Amino acid sequence: MPFGFLKRSRREGSGAGKAPVPSGPRIRGVPFSAVTEEWRLSGVMDLDGRLTDALNKREPLAIRDVRWAPIDGSGSLEPAPGLRSVDPYDLIIVLAGEGSLPPLTDAERVAHRVHKIGYDVALELPPFRVLGTVYLYPGTEPERLLDRATEMFIPVTDAVATLSGREVTEAEADTVLVNRFYLRGVQQVDRRTGEPPPTLPGAPLGGISWRDRSR
């Protein structure tokens, strides 16, 4: 297995070698799937909290039971027993399901969405495209996702990720975590078509625009 396969790693040995040793009573194994510039990965991450929080720490993460395959679909997933850690900088998108979150109360679930506004967007991470909904605080336009910020990964819900028109998301993954370092374009879209909403004829009359309604 060609170790050091992740081209954009910021740290030596992030692709292989001794994994970080997790500790504490809350550690749990979370199934994950992810893609890099050349590879598709599937395995288990050992986490003590939310997957998004762990990725945004920008530190190598312990992984196990890993399988991998070329991202172009030229081969099937094969065991990669020597791959024991991964650097978040190398991951372009991470597919997450319900298992990526620790158990929450109903009040906690509401708190995660409170005061946020949903925007339907198409995100360009060449050669990938992600279509889904992002939740942002009022006054934050989706285009600001292109800015460098504290959050390295941002969740896109009800998402579909494609590579050259071929879907790479999985049925059990309802959220795609997007690495903003790879983000090259953001566009508000109509979810039904995946394209920008058509411009209505005529001049504005001072009413509520499509953009206003989308907020």
Please write down the HEC assignment for all residues of 127-172.
Answer: CEEEEEEEEECCCCCHHHHHCCCCCCEEEEEEEEEEECCEECCCCC
The whole-angstrom distance between residue 120's C-alpha and the CA centroid of its chain comes to: 15
Q: What is the pLDDT of residue 201?
A: 62
Q: Give the separation between CA 128 and CA 156, rounded to whole angstroms.
A: 14
Residue 11 has pLDDT above 50, yes or no: no
Query: Is residue 100 pLDDT above 70, yes or no?
Result: no
Q: Which amino acid is at 27?
A: I
Digit-coded pLDDT (tens) for 27-38: 778 888 999 999
- Contact of 44 with 29, CB cutoff 8 Å: yes
Whole-number pLDDT of residue 146: 92
Out of 10-19, 90-99, 197-206, which region has the weakest mean confidence (pLDDT)? 10-19
Angle at CA 172, nearest 5°, toward 160 and 21?
Answer: 105
Task: Report how far residue 5's alpha carbon sits from residue 110's, in angstroms, rounded to the nearest whole number.
Answer: 40
Q: Is the pLDDT of residue 2 over 90?
A: no
Query: Is 0.85 topped by the overall pTM?
Result: no
Element (H, E) at 55: helix 51-56
Give CA–CA dist 26/31, Å, rounded: 16
Residue 102 amino acid letter: P
